[in-house]
Amino acid sequence: MFKSIHNRLATVVLVGLVAAGSAGRVESAGFALFEQGAKATAMGGAFVATADDPSAMFFNPAGNAFADNKLTLEGGGVIILRPTAEFDGASPFPGNGYHAEMSKGLYAIGHGYGVLSLSNDVKLAVGFWSPNGLGVPWENSDTFSGRFLSQRVDIRQLAMSAQLAVKLSDSIAIGAGPEIRLTDVKLSKNIGAINPFTQRFVDVAHVSIVSTGTPVKVGFTAGLLVKPCERLRFGIAYHSHMDVDLGGGAEFGKIPTGNAQFDAAVAAGLPIGKTVPGTTTVQFPSLTIFGMAYDLTPHLSLEVDGNYTTWKVFDQTVLRISGLPDTTLAHNWENTWTVRAGVLYKGKAGWVAGGFVYDQTPQPDADVSPFLPDSNRTGGSIGAGIRAGKFEFQISSLFLWFHERTVSTNKDNFNGTYQTFAILPGVTIKSTF
């Protein structure tokens, strides 16, 4: 028995951890991630009032109060494919006719949950997921026209939580727990200058900024699930906002221009080959999820959700580099709404689901850049779950159309049109005991 539990636990956790170890790419507006379980993803992320799956740890911690089994384990991940991730420039810079693409590398995010029944009405849930992530790597980064703004940026964040879910009555449950987040950041870009000998703008150095250590920040998450009648359910969940303090260093590498005098002048002014320590704080927003689910028939359910994300906290980034005055980078993001809808058909052998999502971007035109070119998104999703004994194998896929975004007022005067289409196939394995 224990060996069996151990093996199944290892299976589901391993699936999640492997996925979580990869860099995430933002697939909910801003740099938030919402793909925390195949079943929820199949329903377009409209899951706060359903929450009948261990991924309720993210979607609504109260949902686990209604878990029937002694122990339920779940683990999986989502792969992010971007068949289209392109940029077409506009004049004055980088100019009409300029075209660039993001690298087509695979990205993955992972999740793993376990729900243990402490009593009929009290459940303990532990798990991890990736609430935020960002990966924007540009192809041909040494010649990419935006290389002086960003060649590649990666933000990874892993959340871990232990939650208690309590069934107050047959129709009301609550759940809550601390949420511990681990974050790291990497970004790289080139530095350029006018070569006095040629009066041309040339690359003189490359800088990589890497956070060191893994800063830990603690917030909390909570949820409420209400079933006022047999067919109707209301849910609301909340994840708190966190300011994560990051420390690290900027490493400078020299790019020879071919002119020894100029190269020496540059080397005299930049800490080539050294790491300059620095710190910054990244603000991660709070997220409120609320929604309503209705069973049209005993087998067919419909859920409609709304999400409210307080992206306004991401108003600026202050860089504190050793030996230099603080620098403030303005973002001026806005709070956003997301609308999600899902339909779920449950049969004897499993379930099938479909969903829709419209996700509003928090990013103003001025901030849209190679660092993070965000836009509104419309998505459609499908998925299915098949039960096999104590296991349930879930698959899903989200098709996400980033609305074409043409920017002419970027604060760095890097303007043009961004186009992205992403496909996010996912798999989750659930095991019950």
Partner 1 sequence: MKTPTAPLRLVSAAVLAAAVALPAAAQVDLTRIAWVGDSEGAGFSAGCLTKRVQVDSPPAIIARTAGVADFQQPIINDPGLGNCMVLTSLAPSFGAEAGNGTPANLSLPRPYNNLSIPGCAIGDMVRATTGAEASPGSCRSFIDLVLRNSALHIGSPIAQAVALNPTFVFLENVGNDYLGAVLSGTVIDGVTVTPIAAFTADINTALTTLKTKQPKGIVFGVADVTSIPFTTTLPPFLTSGGKLVLDPAGNPIPLLGPKGCVGGAPACPIPANTIVTLNAAAYLPYGYGIPCAVAPTLPKCNNPLPAAAIDATHPGALIYAADVAFLKSRGVQYNAAIQAAATASGYKYYDVNDFLLRLKAGFDIGGATINAAYLTGGAFSYDGFHLTPIGYALLADDLIQFMNANFGAALPRVNLSTYLFNGGTNGGLSGSSALYVPLNGEDFERAVQGIFTPEFAAQLASMFSFPKPALVQGDSGLVPRIEPHHRGVENP
Cis peptide leading into 196, omega within 30 of 0? no
User: CA-to-CA distance for 294 and 65, rounded, in angstroms?
Assistant: 19
Among 265, 304, 352, 366, binds partner 1 (CB under 8 A): 265
User: CA-to-CA distance for 104 and 143, rounded, in angstroms?
Assistant: 17
φ, ψ (nearest 5 deg) of residue 411: -65, -25
Each residue 395-414 as x (binds partner 1 by CB under 8 A) or -, in order, gives ----------------xxxx
The amino acid at 229: C
Q: How far is the CB of 321 from partner 1 (least distance, A)?
A: 7
Q: Please count the other Cβ atoms lying within 10 Å of the Cβ belonging to residue 99.
A: 11
Query: Residue 258: which H helix or E strand, with range?
Result: none
Nearer to partner 1, 97 or 389 (CB): 97
Query: Cα–Cα–Cα angle for 224, 183, 284, nearest 5°?
Result: 50
Check residue 147 for interaction with partner 1 (CB under 8 A): yes
Check residue 90 for interaction with partner 1 (CB under 8 A): yes
Check residue 389 for interaction with partner 1 (CB under 8 A): no
Answer yes or no: are the C-beta atoms of 204 and 191 closer than 8 Å: yes
Answer yes or no: are the C-beta atoms of 380 and 42 closer than 8 Å: no
Check residue 98 for interaction with partner 1 (CB under 8 A): yes
Check residue 269 for interaction with partner 1 (CB under 8 A): yes
Q: Is the dihedral of CA 254, 260, 266, 271 positive or negative?
A: positive
Q: How far is the CB of 266 from partner 1 (least distance, A)?
A: 7
Nearer to partner 1, 200 or 274 (CB): 200
Structure tokens at 113: 């949950």
Among 71, 148, 272, 390, binds partner 1 (CB under 8 A): 148
Nearer to partner 1, 216 or 365 (CB): 365
Check residue 360 for interaction with partner 1 (CB under 8 A): no
# chain residues binding partner 1, by CB under 8 A: 49
Distance of CA 209 to the CA centre of its chain: 20
Query: Residue 186: which H helix or E strand, with range?
Result: strand 172-195
Each residue 313-342 as x (binds partner 1 by CB under 8 A) or -, in order, gives ------x-x--xx-x-x-------------
Q: Please count the other Cβ atoms lying within 10 Å of the Cβ belonging to residue 106.
A: 11
Check residue 270 for interaction with partner 1 (CB under 8 A): yes
Structure tokens at 186: 């990497």
Closest Cα to residue 58, out of 34, 39, 81?
A: 34
Cis peptide leading into 364, omega within 30 of 0? no
User: CA-to-CA distance for 303 and 345, rounded, in angstroms?
Assistant: 12
Check residue 300 for interaction with partner 1 (CB under 8 A): no
Among 207, 255, 292, 423, binds partner 1 (CB under 8 A): 207
Nearer to partner 1, 144 or 351 (CB): 144
Check residue 136 for interaction with partner 1 (CB under 8 A): no
Nearer to partner 1, 175 or 416 (CB): 416
Among 107, 262, 290, 418, binds partner 1 (CB under 8 A): 262
Q: How far is the CB of 209 from partner 1 (least distance, A)?
A: 9
Q: How far is the CB of 237 from partner 1 (least distance, A)?
A: 37
User: CA-to-CA distance for 240 and 232, rounded, in angstroms?
Assistant: 27
Among 84, 172, 186, 192, binds partner 1 (CB under 8 A): 192
Check residue 7 for interaction with partner 1 (CB under 8 A): no
Q: Is the dihedral of CA 358, 359, 365, 371 positive or negative?
A: negative
Check residue 264 for interaction with partner 1 (CB under 8 A): yes
Nearer to partner 1, 262 or 314 (CB): 262
User: CA-to-CA distance for 408 and 416, rounded, in angstroms?
Assistant: 7
Check residue 94 for interaction with partner 1 (CB under 8 A): yes
User: CA-to-CA distance for 374 and 371, rounded, in angstroms?
Assistant: 10
Nearer to partner 1, 34 or 138 (CB): 138
Q: How far is the CB of 280 from partner 1 (least distance, A)?
A: 11
Answer yes or no: are the C-beta atoms of 266 and 244 closer than 8 Å: no
Check residue 140 for interaction with partner 1 (CB under 8 A): no
Q: How far is the CB of 207 from partner 1 (least distance, A)?
A: 6
Determine the interface stretch with partner 1 among 104-112, 147-155, 161-169, 214-222 (rule: CB under 8 A). 147-155
Binding site for partner 1 (CB under 8 A): 90-98, 145-149, 189, 191-194, 196-202, 204-205, 207, 250, 259, 261-262, 264-266, 268-270, 319, 321, 324-325, 327, 329, 411-414
